[in-house]
Amino acid sequence: MVNAVLYDSTQCVGCKLCESACSEKWNLRYDDKVAAEDKLSAHKLTVVKTHADEKFSRRKCMHCEEPACASVCPVGAFTKTKLGPVVYDESKCIGCRYCMTACPFGVPAYEWTSRTPRVRKCDGCIERVSTVKPTACAEACPTGATITGDRDALIAEARKRIAEKPSEYYPKIYGLNEVGGTTTLFIAGVPFEKLGLRTDLPMEALPPLTWRVLSGVPDVAAVGSVMLGGVYWITHRREAVARAEAAERRRTK
């Protein structure tokens, strides 16, 4: 079984109990100031955002089927588990932050203010799903906007909801095919771009795409690039990540 999370924006009331439960799970501070933040960070691993017309969206790690973060990590600090979650081993991390550049969803965050900084992100509650428990966020959700279970079963549930109430749903499942598929899935009543989700992503997994690009490069020149991986996304996102890092440093001064 591949565990996944389905978020239904039409059922979300913006209570942010998922945020609170996630923070408690990670022993992170959660108060009014943190609750008001609408961006993922090293101290906030899931975010509920408010949009026009009282519509909500949620951000967390997408747990890609073929994760770019794991592909580019030169020391194997990121691993895609058989259960679905992508997990991070801080003992292996060398702080290169290639994962931050490679992630098409901008999820991994860095502990800039720590003397021993780590990369932080949702781990899919791997310790809970491995014992067939729901994720902390799903368990805390009072409306069923976030549910967890087998990915195929959740896809079937999402299709059922859309088919039963076609006037209430945008007729697509986000994460079904984006970057080769993810185990965090979204359905909503409006086009996904209106909820801030990227809709310009390839429907193909990024690591194989990278390898195809590298296959056209002479072997001698390719060796170093293969070790670092993620050439495509590193090239296209370096400047964006640099700006985000600079902004985070200014914010935490």
On the question of pLDDT at 78 being above 80, the answer is yes
Max CA pair span of the chain: 56
Q: In the prediction, which pLDDT does 38 show?
A: 94
On the question of pLDDT at 239 being above 90, the answer is no
Chain mean pLDDT for the chain: 88
Burial class (CB in 10 A: 0-12, 13-18, 19+), 142: exposed
Question: Do 68 and 206 meet the contact criterion of CB atoms below 8 Å apart?
Answer: yes
Q: In the prediction, which pLDDT does 240 show?
A: 59
- Provide the domain count of the chain: 1
For range 59-63, the mean pLDDT: 98
| CATH code, 138 | 3.30.70.20
Domain that holds residue 46: 1-253
Q: In the prediction, which pLDDT does 132 show?
A: 93
Mind listing the pLDDT tens digit for each residue in 158-177? 999 999 999 999 999 999 99
On the question of pLDDT at 72 being above 80, the answer is yes
Question: Do 62 and 107 meet the contact criterion of CB atoms below 8 Å apart?
Answer: yes
For range 181-207, the mean pLDDT: 95
Q: For residue 49, which of 25, 19, 29 has the smallest C-alpha distance?
A: 19
Question: Do 102 and 179 meet the contact criterion of CB atoms below 8 Å apart?
Answer: no
For range 21-25, the mean pLDDT: 98
For range 191-198, the mean pLDDT: 96
